Amino acid sequence: MTITAAADGSALKNPGPAGWAWYVDDDCWAAGGWPHGTNNIGELQAVLELFRATADVDDDLLVLCDSQYVINSVTQWMPGWKRKGWRKADGKPVMNVELLKEIDAAIQGRRYRFQWVKGHAGHDLNEAADVRARAAAEAFQRGSAVPSGPGFTRGGAAPARVAARPAERVLPEPAADTLFDGLFDLDDERAAPTHELTLRLEDGEHRRLLQRAKAAGRTPEELLRGLI
Q: What is the DSSP string of 95-156?
A: TTHHHHHHHHHHTTT--EEEEE--TTS--HHHHHHHHHHHHHHHHHHHT-------BB-STT
pLDDT in tens, 143-170: 999 999 999 987 443 343 333 334 444 4
Which residue in the list 49, 120, 138, 226 is annotated as catalytic?
A: 120
Q: Residue 194: its pLDDT value, please?
A: 40
Q: Is residue 130 part of a domain?
A: yes
Q: Residue 167: its pLDDT value, please?
A: 40
CB 163 within 8 A of CB 48: no
Q: Is residue 54 part of a domain?
A: yes
Q: Is residue 58 part of a domain?
A: yes
Q: Is residue 45 part of a domain?
A: yes
203 is an active site residue: no
36 is an active site residue: no
Q: Residue 102: its pLDDT value, please?
A: 98
Q: Is residue 215 part of a domain?
A: no
pLDDT in tens, 93-111: 999 999 999 999 999 999 9
Which residue in the list 33, 42, 130, 226 is annotated as catalytic?
A: 130
pTM here is 0.70
Range of the domain at 8: 2-165
Stretches in the chain below the pLDDT threshold 70: 155-228
Q: Residue 120: its pLDDT value, please?
A: 87
Cα distances (Å, whole numbers) of residue 171 to 38, 140, 219 = 9, 14, 24
Q: Is residue 212 part of a domain?
A: no
Report the side by side order of strands in the sheet with 112-116. Answer: 28-37, 16-25, 2-11, 60-65, 112-116
Cα distances (Å, whole numbers) of residue 157 to 32, 112, 220 = 22, 24, 41
- Give the CATH number of the domain where residue 109 resides: 3.30.420.10
Q: How many domains does the chain have?
A: 1
98 is an active site residue: no
